[in-house]
A and B are shown apart, each in its own frame.
Chain A
Amino acid sequence: MSSVRDANASSNTKPAANDSHSPPPIIKAAIAKKQPPPETSESVWTRRWVIFSFWAVAIFLGLPVWWKATAIYRAELPLQTMTDWADGKICKPVFPLRIAVEAPALPLQDAQHLVRTTQHALDDLNEFSAHHLRLMLAAAPFANASQETVGTTNDNTIEPFRVPRDKDIALSIRMLPVESGSTPRSELQQYSPALDVYYTPNQIPPPSSTSSPLATFIANELHKVFAEEQATLAHLLSTTSTAHVSKIKSLSPEFSAELERQSTRAFKYAPTYHLTFSLFSPTSVPSDWEIESALQQYLTPLLESFSSISNFTVDTQVQLYATFSPSMRQPEFDAELNAWTLRKEDLSGFINAAEWPLSPSIGIGPTINFVLYVPDPSQSPLLVKENGGNSWLVPQWGGVRILNPTVSGGAPSTPAKLDKEALASAMHTFSDQLFSLLGVPQTPASLPLRLTTLTRVRAASLVFSASSTLSALARLYKALPSIPIPDTVAKSVDLTTAHLQLACNDLREGRFQGALENARVAEAEAEKAFFERSMVGQVYFPDEHKVAVYLPLLGPVAVPLVMAALKELKSFLVWIKRRE
């Protein structure tokens, strides 16, 4: 084994051998310094083991520990599914509306035929395939005939309904035979989802015909009732997802501009809205208003009718000596109108945001502001110059109404207390504005129908927004590899997709209230996943920072290790050369 010795060691043996022939000591010192004794093979091996064990610790312990300690935990996310949701590959929202036809006066055979022909006429009219009306023959409450469903074939079973006005029935058509008046004519009930159709018995299509004026009439009426809803949904589909654009055929530009305006005006969906009613006055009066009873009478019914879609909290305040913002152009007197006027372009600066205490930042929901402004008697009446109006709406913020004091005995005077009657017109304005701000459609006249329309629109928009949040998260996951993704995010994503699927199924089966509930949960979970608190950090770490961190730490350790390894490697190479 001694042959393994390196060159130095072997050269050392020569003077050592000479030593035994004893040259004079002085000469010896001149020839060479005293060399250390040759290394024994054990010590050489010990050294090698030591070096080896250091390397082993560094590689087998240090490296994994470093790897583990600096790795960023990224939970697995179903990226493909998340993207597919946003692309509309998994769920194409459809809105099958069930419409019950009640025809107690008709024999079953005729009624079925009428429903069938009307359905045909409807299908011919419909241009937006995702939204289709499905007619069904409802048993009249008093008849116990077998339930019949007629319409397009579908795979899901329709449960027989006992109550004619089932929750899942979007609209009931009541066929009422009359003898007088122009027929056919229809009348939409204002406070219940029902359409009364008056006809004379001779207008019932004979069983042999495939179309009839009555059927076409009903189909047209239905189409008219749901026209705005169809347009709104079509618009929503076209703006939120690219996959659906091809479906939209005929939206007139004026109409889509109007829809765009509506979507600009309306608040985003929230489970809870916060309503603030504020009375502002530049003087010391009115210092009191009967707002509580006014709200109770004029607003509570509306809010309660909304309760299946959103909840509301309400608060009120009175602010006296509220002045205009100094940068606002002051009202001008218009002799023609005999009134003080505000220009329309100044209206958005009317609210003195710096000093009027609005937007209380409480609760979780967005705040909808309603401002009642009672002008100074010396500046009264105060009107909008362009149209002489006294109220306006600020998109996604709230509404403003100017309440001019009544003129009594020549000079206008402000009462110290505004009673309920004085507030009625203002509350009327506010309730109209509230409906606009919440995105309630303008037509049809029936309020329950408009609310169910809103349910469908909101459910669809929540599905879209949750899907787009998912895909945003998926894109971020890929784009920012240094962001940690905890398990809770994966869990929330799973919950989101599950609820989205439920919502989608509900939509397909026409359970719109259920769809809204599920979409709401999906949206909340998606938001939670995206805004996970721990998904932030020093995202970007430049390379020079890494060098700066690691070099002082690893440099002193690495130098002896590497040098020792190199030295041993060199001696190994020499040994190999020698063996040759």
Chain B
Amino acid sequence: MSLLLPFLSLALLALAPYASTEHTSNWAVLVSTSRFWFNYRHLANVLSLYRTVKRLGIPDSQIILMLPDDMACNPRNAFPGTVYNNADRALDLYGDNIEVDYRGYEVTVENFLRLMTDRVSEDMPRSKRLLTDDRSNILVYMTGHGGNEFLKFQDAEEISAFDLADAFEQMWEKKRYHEILFMIDTCQANTMYSKFYSPNILATGSSEIDQSSYSHHADADVGVAVIDRYTYYNLEFLESQVREPTSKLTLGDLFDSYDEEKIHSHPGVRYDLFPGGEEGARGRLVMDFFGNVQNVEVDGEGGKRNETEWLEELEAIDRLINEARRRHNESVSAPLFPQVQEEKMVVNERQSVRREGAVRVDEESGWGKKIVGAAALLGCMGVWAAGSWLEAL
């Protein structure tokens, strides 16, 4: 046993990295936060990323796309129904197969936090929820106008770096992610991830504190800038180098491709929260976050039961079930799963009672409010009448 122990611990050590790299699903949360035509480029940023992750295999059901405005149908758009991220207009980002999950005024700080922490109402469709678990890698990409430790949403409100950090912490506590890659393209972007404190997050941003993040170029016919620099060079790497899902390029390669001369700001990367630190993070594959690659298990030829055995088994199960059913019908007094049925009944009862109660309370409070309102109105009239009477005296 004492000889075995060091061997065991060695084997466990060897296993640990294998276990930690394993994820079974990839999700992407792509958020643009600005409204209005002159922010065309932010929506183009997000749509470009959307197209890339979709090309690399993340299904629409696992992409949450938040677009606060509709540039394709904006009356100022000279090319209706399309969004371009380049002046050559070779690629229509809008295309014919796009699924926007949160649109227009739905894109708020509250909805974003609710999405991340899954504190949504029961009637929220599954496509608008982030149904991740402790085996999910999440790519969070945000773009918009920001400042020191905040990012504006729709020119109306802002999310602070603290809110974002707390949201990630809640996700971590509930085991809602395996690893997160956080990317943000906004002014002073690196301040947004400075407050994170939850593990397994790798964060990168376009610019340091007191630095602006610039747009790449404008399209004279569209009339506005069409893409931001940081996003542009990220895409350049992803589109020209990561050609197929089997790509073995790492995030280190992606970060090394950032050229401050071209981006005009200092992109930052935060490694300290990630397991393995800088080395571990840089060694991670780009496809671990931008694609949807799992370890598939090819069924071997041997080791499986053959078909006749399987058919026999099915028949036997069938017989068993019929037998159980017959017994169940015979002994009506002893139901097969008394506990289950009881539980169901209890649940039903509780639900129905609650529903009735809620309706009754609503009606009551509605009437109560009406009475209070009427009384207040009458009181005001009385005071007015009394005042005029006193004046008349």
Contact = CB atoms under 8 A, between A and B. Distances in A.
A463 to B, nearest CB: 16
Interface string B277-296: 00000000000000011111
A41 B321 CA distance: 101
B209 to A, nearest CB: 16
B343 A540 contact: no
Contact of A531 (B97, B118, B343): B118
B381 interface: no
Interface string A359-400: 101100000000000000000000010111101111111000
B162 A539 contact: yes
Interface residues of B, number: 72
B135 A531 contact: no
Given A432-B304, A532-B119, A472 B166 contact: no
Contacts, number: 188
A260 B301 contact: no
B313 to A, nearest CB: 7
Residue from the set A192, A351, A475, A476 with the largest chain B CB neighbour count within 10 Å: A476
Interface in A339-356: 344-349, 351, 353-355
B101 to A, nearest CB: 11
A384 B173 CA distance: 40
Contact of B119 (A268, A389, A432, A535): A535
B54 interface: yes
B117 interface: yes
A354 B95 CA distance: 13
Interface stretch (A75-83, A134-142, A295-303): A295-303
A308 B126 CA distance: 26
B178 to A, nearest CB: 11
A144 interface: no
Contact of A469 (B22, B109, B174): B174
A367 B174 CA distance: 21
Given A387-B300, A428-B307, A536-B117, A346 B318 contact: no
B310 interface: yes
Given A361-B61, A475-B173, A514 B298 contact: no
Interface in B239-267: 243-246
A392 B15 contact: no
Contact of A191 (B18, B135, B320): B320
A569 interface: no
B77 interface: no
A325 interface: yes
B103 interface: no
A389 B245 CA distance: 21
Interface in A519-558: 521, 530-533, 535-540, 542
Interface in B77-107: 97
Interface residues on A, range: 35 or more
Contact of A305 (B57, B118, B173, B317): B317
B298 A395 contact: no
B246 A349 contact: yes
Nearest to B11: A253
A397 B119 contact: no
Interface string A409-451: 0000000000000001100110111000000000000011000
A571 interface: no
B310 A428 contact: yes
A392 B244 contact: no
Contacts of A318: none
B54 A354 contact: yes
A4 B387 CA distance: 42
Given A344-B298, A425-B307, 10 more contacts: A265-B297, A305-B321, A327-B56, A347-B298, A348-B294, A353-B54, A424-B307, A431-B310, A531-B120, A539-B163
Would you list the 5 A-B pairs with minimal beta carbon distance, nearest first? A253-B11, A353-B59, A540-B162, A349-B245, A472-B173
Interface of B: 7-8, 11-12, 15, 18-19, 22, 24-25, 54-61, 97, 109-110, 113-114, 117-121, 125-127, 133, 135, 160, 162-163, 166, 169-170, 173-175, 243-246, 292-301, 304-305, 307, 310, 313-314, 316-321, 337, 339-340, 343
29 contacts: A192-B320, A256-B15, A260-B15, A301-B314, A302-B314, A304-B317, A326-B55, A327-B245, A329-B246, A347-B296, A348-B57, A348-B296, A349-B245, A349-B246, A349-B293, A354-B54, A355-B97, A361-B125, A391-B299, A393-B296, A395-B24, A433-B299, A472-B173, A480-B166, A513-B337, A517-B343, A531-B117, A532-B119, A538-B110
